[in-house]
Amino acid sequence: MKTFLEEVNEKIKGVPIQRCYHCRKCTAGCPLASVMEYNPNRIIKMIQMGMKKEVLNSSTIWLCASCETCITRCPNEVDIARMMDILREMAIKEGVPAKEKNVILFHEAFLWGIKLRGRINEPLMMVNYKLRSGDFFSDMSMGIEMFLKGKLPLISPKTKNLRAVKDIFEKTRQ
């Protein structure tokens, strides 16, 4: 039977995560480390120690924003953003509920927006998310502020090759 570390490495298909020597440069640059249950390099340590249940149940894997700051800073090119994707996929496949409320609905609204236009239109995505979640009023003031500063354009360009995007969705059955 494969260890948790072997399972993760097999799916990453890149630099094996045991190459991490815990310098914490990833965590120092991660914009979300301060609100994470376990910081990014701690998650790597937990994988190395076989703590699958704790990792898949942690809010960290759902709070990661896939910004890739960590891999940019890592001297060993450990792809933490990809690792977090793999951990989220594992949690879904194994029926582990997401620890962050409505986060899966947010991901679904994001993918819905990409499938529709090939690019994200934030206001459209937020409407879709609000309808899915029924959470109409949280972040409302921030949304209005962003809109007034021109950060939420109502019209955004569509991708030129929407067919190629739809093909990706079909191939991955989304």
Which residue lies nearer to ligand SF4 by CB, 32 or 165? 32
Surface-to-core class of residue 153, CB atoms within 10 Å of its CB (0-12 exposed, 13-18 middle, 19+ buried):
exposed
Q: Are 79 and 130 in contact (CB under 8 A)?
A: no
Which residue lies nearer to ligand SF4 by CB, 67 or 111? 67
Please report whether residue 96 would count as binding ligand SF4 according to CB under 6 A: no
Whole-angstrom distance, CA of residue 97 vs CA of residue 157: 35
Please report whether residue 24 would count as binding ligand SF4 according to CB under 6 A: yes
Please report whether residue 168 would count as binding ligand SF4 according to CB under 6 A: no
Q: Are 117 and 110 in contact (CB under 8 A)?
A: no
Please report whether residue 67 would count as binding ligand SF4 according to CB under 6 A: yes
Which residue lies nearer to ligand SF4 by CB, 30 or 55? 30
Please report whether residue 81 would count as binding ligand SF4 according to CB under 6 A: yes
Q: Are 66 and 84 in contact (CB under 8 A)?
A: yes
Please report whether residue 25 would count as binding ligand SF4 according to CB under 6 A: yes
Nearest CA to 46 out of 58, 54, 35, 36 is that of: 54
Residues numbered 140 to 159 that lie near ligand SF4 (CB under 6 A) are none
Work out which of 26, 61, 86, 96 binds ligand SF4, going by CB under 6 A. Answer: 26
Please report whether residue 65 would count as binding ligand SF4 according to CB under 6 A: yes
Please report whether residue 23 would count as binding ligand SF4 according to CB under 6 A: yes
Handedness of CA 53, 107, 99, 76 (dihedral sign): positive
Please report whether residue 18 would count as binding ligand SF4 according to CB under 6 A: no
Rg of the chain (C-alpha set): 18
Question: With contacts defined by CB under 6 A, how many residues of the chain interact with ligand SF4?
Answer: 28
